[in-house]
Amino acid sequence: MFAQFNWNASGYFRKLTETNLLARQSGMRFSLVSGLQGLEDAISTMQDSVGFVCLAESSDGVASIDISPNSRRVKTLFLALRHAENDMPAREDALERIREIFRQFLSHLLRERTRLHTQGIYLDPEIPFHEIESYFASGCACAYFQISYSTAFDLRFDKSQWTE
């Protein structure tokens, strides 16, 4: 039986956050959250941070038992930067920095995609990006993007795993 491969997305995005110059200059810290509600909790409880890169610790997925059995996972990464409340120019500046960090992360993901491909992990070339409305977190610009990837897995029937 062949091994199923997996991608350590949390380790990857933690390292990106810690080594990206703009993310560091913007005061961004990495954390794991449990979806959009977790991001809201992180923003409200982490008053000492200016910015966040938060990976949703769970992922959605789908398995295909078609010709080439594979598992598809979707990871969500949230980006957030604090700004002065009710200051639209400050919010726009924060959004511009988030957009640039997203672009820089994508440039690194392009290299990661090639490395992962050699391990049987396939990143989807389509990466949706969404900016979150200003009412979500007052004084904080937020956006998120989603990374989808597929890995092959073994669906050969093994009689030793079953009772008669």
Say how far apart CA 103 and CA 106 lie, in whole Å.
5
Report, as an integer, the average pLDDT of 46-69.
75
Per-residue pLDDT at 65: 75
Please work out, in degrees rounded to the nearest 5, the angle formed at the alpha carbon of residue 92 by the alpha carbons of 91 and 97: 100
**Predicted confidence (pLDDT) per residue in 130-150, tens digit:** 998 876 667 889 999 999 888
Which residues are CB-contacts of 88 (< 8 A; sequence separation ≥ 6)? none
The pair phi, psi for residue 17, each rounded to 5°, is -60, -40
Say how far apart CA 147 and CA 151 lie, in whole Å.
13
Q: What is the separation of C-alpha 157 from the centre of its chain, rounded to a whole number of angstroms?
A: 34
For residue 73, name the pLDDT band (cuts at 50, 70, 90).
Answer: confident
CATH of 9-154, one of 3.30.70, 3.30.460, 3.40.50, 2.60.40: 3.30.70
| Mean pLDDT for all residues in the chain | 84
What are the domain boundaries of the chain?
9-154
